[in-house]
């Protein structure tokens, strides 16, 4: 297949910048005429790229050895086998190839790629085929060890793009500068492209980073109130629990990170629009130690064998107390206790039994608690004061049990002498709620018990991000809202102790900074890098080498987005901030160590 008769423009190639982005040596655009031939030769071996000296002369004039078109006088000869080509050498023998000069000049960014085209330092045509081409004195090409070429990765021109660290989307449009077309590179702002999207609006609404000095805590409280209003569905239990967490953050922010149990109890009861009515019941006869017929009230008009009188049908409170007194006249203490318990005179019964033996007192006390509903918060308090883990801590979260918040409120407001028992009761309640899927409610309990935060990979830890379960997929776990809520909690702790910070949370702040950069907010992302670096430098960054290296990598890409550079003289803009230099020094010291 003779290639004579084609014009030079069909043999031009795109800019070297496009070629360097491909990992294969034959990823060059085909000439237009050859594409037509390839369509006619379906099933034949194709995909050969033609290169000659024009490619390097067109883009690197310092490597040209003659006027353009000089080597075009040597016609391109094709071997008899279809799909294979041979290019004659336009250079005299003994001189180094132009490709070798190009490789040694350092103009290429991919030495490995160029080395695939250099054959024994004597080839001058940068062949696509892995075989060797030798040209004799007669100018006839000889072919040895021919193998099929790699097909093109992209059969047609396309737009190359990348994301810049400055919050830009960079597009390199498919043009041919060698054919007289002007190369065009477009810069688009990601913030403008993503304007109006939910993700960008969520990032822009947050007043972070919260550790900066010009932030007032009123701004943080306003953000939390907005999340309660717009982000919590109060018609669902999950929405009410999420609202409770945000209200807790508002309370901590208002009180500079400190609170007592009664503050949390008041907050818990605010969301209870109506107090559940816990139905009281008669004490069980078995608890009183009497038979059912003995416990049941006597028929109206029946004679009382003790007093010898007929009791009235409807007894008033005074008459009930009077009969209790008469029973004691005759020394019938047990009957008096039964009468008082049956008529709800629990004060009389408990006082009398307390002056008797311990077994009797326990009997009356058990009878009193049996009259309370199972899910009554009084049951929780009495069980806790009796030295037991309340039943509510093991059963809360069920729809039949009722709301969990009054039970936690009564535990927080009434500390017993055994602080370990209080702690275990609250943690048990949180574990029960977590097992039922109420993550926000469980985390509220864990905060009341001062449970520390852990890591995503440590599934045994109870918390990693406030209000988000680390037992789900990472994409669902590390949501933007969860990271923002966690940062507000860290800010509240810093109001109480300025030097405190949550070390496990710095990983998620770095992730949040990368999201800001991805959405076209590089200046805000750089501020996050600075605050993370400040927290790491308070401790040994070498203790967390992976976090320090990733932080350094992101900060070096974003360092030119600092607004302070606009106010600096041009000669001082290359000076890096102190925190970045310290971080780099720590990383180098760790690598040396």
Q: What is the pLDDT of residues 551-572, one digit of tens each?
A: 999 999 998 888 877 677 766 6
Mean pLDDT of 63-79: 40
Does the pLDDT of residue 70 top 50, yes or no? no
pLDDT at 238 over 70: yes
Long-range contacts of 383-387 (CB under 8 A, 24+ apart): 384/411, 384/414, 384/416, 384/421, 384/422, 384/425, 385/414, 385/416, 387/416, 387/418, 387/421
CA 119/CA 133 separation, integer angstroms: 9
- Rounded to whole angstroms, how far apart are CA atoms 504 and 516? 20
Cα 439 to its chain centre, rounded Å, is 16
Residue 220 has pLDDT above 50, yes or no: yes
pLDDT band per the 50, 70, 90 thresholds, residue 59: very low
Q: Determine, yes or no, domain membership for 528.
A: no
Strands 160-163 and 168-172, sheet pairing: antiparallel
Phi-psi category of residue 236: left, alpha or beta, with phi > 0 → left and psi -120 to 50 → alpha: beta
Structure confidence at residue 281 (pLDDT) = 57
pLDDT in tens, 411-437: 999 888 788 999 999 999 999 999 999
Structure confidence by residue, pLDDT tens digits, 252-279:
999 999 998 889 999 999 867 555 556 5
Q: Do 86 and 133 meet the contact criterion of CB atoms below 8 Å apart?
A: yes
550: in domain: no
For residue 419, the SS3 value is helix
DSSP code per residue over 90-111: -S-TTSPPHHHHHHHTT--S-H
Q: Is the bond preceding 550 in cis, omega lying within 30 degrees of 0?
A: no
Q: In this predicted structure, what is the pLDDT of residue 148?
A: 58
In a domain, 166, yes or no: yes
Q: Is residue 164 part of a domain?
A: yes
Residues β-bridged to residue 186: 171
- pLDDT at position 404 over 70: yes
pLDDT tens digits, one per residue of 464-517: 999 999 999 999 999 999 999 999 999 999 999 888 888 889 999 999 999 999
To the nearest whole percent, how much of the chain has pLDDT over 90? 37
8 Å CB contact between 441 and 433: yes
245 in any annotated domain: no
CA contacts within 13 A on the Cβ side of 375: 17
Range of the domain at 163: 159-174+182-195
Between these two residues, 573 and 242, which has the higher pLDDT value? 242
Supply the pTM of this predicted model.
Answer: 0.67
Residue 328: CA atoms inside 13 Å, Cβ hemisphere, count?
12
226: tokens are: 């907005």
Residue 38 has pLDDT above 80, yes or no: no
307 pLDDT tier (thresholds 50, 70, 90): low
Q: Are strands 168-172 and 185-189 parallel, antiparallel or unpaired?
A: antiparallel
* Closest-CA residue to 129 (of 103, 153, 148, 154): 148
Q: Does 22 or 582 have the greater pLDDT score? A: 582
Q: Is it the case that residue 14 has pLDDT exceeding 70?
A: no
Q: Is residue 215 part of a domain?
A: no
**Helix, strand, coil percentages in the chain from 3-state DSSP, rounded to 5:** 50, 5, 45
Print burial letters for 281-319: b (CB count within 10 Å at least 16), e (below 16). eebebebbeeeeeebeeeeeeeeeeeeeeebeeeeeeee
Residue 145 pLDDT > 60, yes or no? Answer: no
Average pLDDT, the chain: 75
Lowest mean pLDDT among 87-91, 297-301, 304-308, 424-428: 87-91
Q: Is residue 186 part of a domain?
A: yes
pLDDT of residue 410: 93
Of 172-176, 221-225, 427-431, 517-521, which range is least confident? 172-176
Banded pLDDT at 370 (limits 50, 70, 90): confident
- How many domains does the structure of the chain reveal? 1
Q: Is residue 395 part of a domain?
A: no
pLDDT of 117 over the 70 cut: no
- Per-residue pLDDT band for 313 (boundaries 50, 70, 90) equals low
């Amino acid at each position: 297949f003779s290639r004579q008769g084609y014009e030079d423009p069909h043999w031009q190639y795109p800019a070297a910048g496009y070629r360097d982005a491909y990992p294969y040596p034959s990823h060059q655009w085909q000439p237009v005429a050859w594409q037509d031939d390839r369509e006619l030769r379906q099933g034949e071996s194709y995909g050969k790229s033609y290169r000659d000296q024009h490619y390097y002369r067109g883009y690197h004039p310092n490597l040209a050895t003659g006027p353009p078109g000089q080597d075009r006088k040597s016609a391109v000869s094709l071997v008899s086998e279809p799909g294979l080509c041979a290019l004659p050498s336009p250079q005299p023998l003994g001189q180094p190839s132009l490709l070798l000069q190009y490789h040694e000049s350092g103009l290429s960014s991919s030495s490995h790629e160029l080395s695939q085209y250099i054959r024994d330092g004597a080839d001058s045509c940068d062949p696509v085929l892995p075989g060797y081409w030798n040209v004799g004195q007669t100018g006839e090409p000889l072919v040895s060890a021919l193998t099929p070429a790699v097909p093109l990765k992209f059969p047609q021109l396309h737009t190359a793009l990348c994301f810049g660290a400055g919050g830009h989307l960079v597009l390199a449009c498919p043009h041919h500068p060698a054919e007289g077309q002007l190369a065009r590179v477009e810069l688009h702002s990601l913030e403008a492209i993503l304007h109006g999207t939910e993700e960008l609006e969520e990032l822009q609404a947050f007043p972070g980073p919260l550790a900066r000095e010009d932030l007032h805590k009123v701004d943080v409280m306003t953000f939390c109130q907005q999340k309660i209003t717009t982000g919590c569905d109060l018609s669902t239990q999950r929405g009410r629990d999420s609202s409770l967490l945000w209200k807790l953050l508002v309370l901590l922010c208002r009180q500079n990170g400190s609170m007592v149990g009664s503050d949390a109890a008041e907050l818990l009861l605010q969301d209870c629009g109506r107090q559940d009515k816990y139905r009281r019941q008669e004490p069980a006869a078995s608890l009183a130690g009497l038979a059912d017929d003995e416990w049941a009230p006597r028929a109206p008009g029946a004679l009382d064998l003790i007093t010898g009188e007929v009791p009235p049908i409807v007894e008033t409170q005074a008459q009930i107390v009077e009969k209790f007194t008469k029973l004691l006249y005759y020394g019938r203490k047990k009957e008096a206790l039964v009468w008082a318990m049956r008529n709800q005179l629990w004060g009389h019964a408990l006082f009398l039994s307390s002056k008797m033996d311990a077994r009797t007192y326990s009997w009356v006390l058990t009878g009193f608690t049996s009259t309370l509903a199972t899910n009554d918060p009084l049951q929780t308090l009495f069980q806790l004061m009796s030295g037991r883990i309340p039943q509510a801590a093991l059963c809360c979260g069920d729809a039949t049990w009722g709301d969990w918040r009054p039970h936690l409120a009564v535990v927080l407001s009434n500390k017993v002498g055994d602080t370990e028992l209080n702690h275990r009761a609250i943690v048990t309640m949180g574990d029960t709620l977590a097992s039922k899927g109420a993550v926000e409610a469980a985390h509220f309990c864990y905060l009341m018990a001062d449970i520390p935060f852990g890591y995503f990979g440590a599934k045994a830890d109870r918390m990693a991000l406030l209000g988000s379960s680390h037992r789900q997929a990472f994409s669902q776990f590390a949501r933007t809202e969860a990271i923002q809520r966690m940062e507000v909690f860290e800010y509240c702790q810093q109001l109480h102790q300025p030097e405190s910070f949550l070390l496990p949370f710095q990983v998620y702040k770095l992730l949040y900074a990368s999201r800001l950069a991805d959405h076209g907010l590089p200046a805000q992302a750089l501020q996050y890098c600075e605050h993370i670096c400040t927290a790491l430098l308070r401790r040994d960054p070498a203790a967390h080498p992976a976090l320090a290296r990733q932080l350094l990598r992101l900060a070096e890409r974003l360092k030119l987005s600092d607004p302070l550079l606009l106010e600096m003289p041009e000669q001082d803009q290359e000076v890096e901030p102190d925190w970045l230099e310290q971080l780099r020094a720590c990383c180098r010291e760790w690598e040396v160590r």
